[in-house]
């Protein structure tokens, strides 16, 4: 059985080479699929050069930038067709998610269906964030947990390992978010609709040192309203029990 890492990219030429090299040095048998949204900085070309060095490296070229959620949906639907893939890992390509945690994720996938790299459990945390970003992230997760009633402290986490069988059973048409809120919706559907067994493993999230952050107020606003919508779905789910 195989495990695959999904790396969505847009203008990550400065980071992609070091991330890929570090991942393969830690987990040589892991496969990596880079999902590039037609990065104008030449990220895709950098990956294609590395493909001659790493047989387990592949790239999915998309026509344009349509959001993190859409990139992940397309890639997940694609890789879930391969019955030999045991688990799918989602990870940022900017260095904020440290590859050193990957062996712990893969060691847990036999006992859990969803593993979350969490900033908000004992041992977790963030580095190099401004105060406003820390407060916004903490508030967002408390707010999301309050509405969704999910047993998770880091609902906005993007560093995850998911058993592929659950992605095959997932109805992606029920996930409408095209941006970062996809990460919350994905967790909600895996846990509420498919009863996925979940565990949060502590990670230290490090703010990127190269390139520009993709975070924006538009992303925060989408998440605010989507969480309210999920709260209503959670109420309906509870009433049916």
Say if residues 227 and 144 touch (Cβ distance below 8 Å).
Answer: yes
How high is the pLDDT of residue 238?
A: 47
What pLDDT is recorded for position 169? 96
Confidence (pLDDT) at 151 = 92
The residues facing 118 across adjacent strands are 202
- 59 touches 85 (CB < 8 A): no
| 61 bridge partner residues | 36
**Alpha-carbon gap, residue 178 to 72, rounded angstroms:** 9
pLDDT along the chain (241 residues), means of 10: 96 95 97 97 97 97 91 96 97 96 96 98 92 84 84 95 97 85 92 96 87 55 57 51 50
pLDDT score of 132: 81
Confidence (pLDDT) at 31: 98
Q: How many CB atoms lie within 10 A of CB 202?
A: 16
Report helix, strand or coil for 121.
coil
Q: Helix, strand or coil for residue 86?
A: strand
Give the DSSP letter of residue 99: G
**Three-state DSSP class for residue 51:** helix
Q: Are strands 204-206 and 85-90 parallel, antiparallel or unpaired?
A: unpaired
pLDDT number for residue 37:
96
Residue of 100, 89, 95, 124 whose CA lies nearest to 204: 124
With CA atoms as reference, report the closest residue to 190 among 121, 104, 90.
Answer: 90
Amino acid 195: pLDDT: 96
State in Å, rounded, how far the first CA of the chain is from the last one: 36
């Amino acid at each position: 059985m195989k495990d695959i890492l999904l790396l969505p990219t847009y203008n990550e030429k400065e980071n992609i080479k070091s991330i890929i090299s570090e991942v393969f040095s830690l987990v040589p048998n892991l496969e990596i699929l880079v999902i590039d949204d037609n990065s104008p900085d030449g990220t895709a070309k950098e990956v294609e050069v590395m493909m001659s060095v790493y047989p387990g490296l592949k790239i999915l070229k998309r026509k344009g930038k349509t959001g993190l959620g859409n990139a992940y949906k397309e890639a997940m639907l694609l890789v879930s067709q391969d019955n030999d893939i045991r688990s799918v890992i989602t990870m940022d390509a900017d260095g904020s998610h440290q590859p050193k945690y990957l062996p712990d994720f893969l060691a847990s996938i036999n006992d859990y269906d969803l593993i979350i790299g969490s900033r908000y459990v004992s041992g977790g945390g963030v580095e190099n964030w401004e105060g406003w970003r820390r407060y916004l992230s903490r508030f967002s997760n408390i707010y999301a947990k309050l509405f969704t009633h999910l047993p998770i402290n880091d609902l906005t986490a993007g560093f995850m390992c998911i058993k592929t069988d659950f992605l095959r059973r997932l109805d992606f048409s029920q996930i409408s978010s095209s941006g970062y809120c996809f990460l919350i919706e994905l967790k909600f559907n895996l846990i509420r609709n498919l009863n996925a067994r979940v565990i949060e493993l502590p990670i230290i999230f490090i703010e990127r040192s190269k390139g520009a952050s993709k975070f924006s107020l538009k992303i925060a606003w989408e998440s605010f309203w989507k969480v309210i919508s999920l709260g209503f779905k959670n109420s309906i789910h509870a009433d049916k029990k």
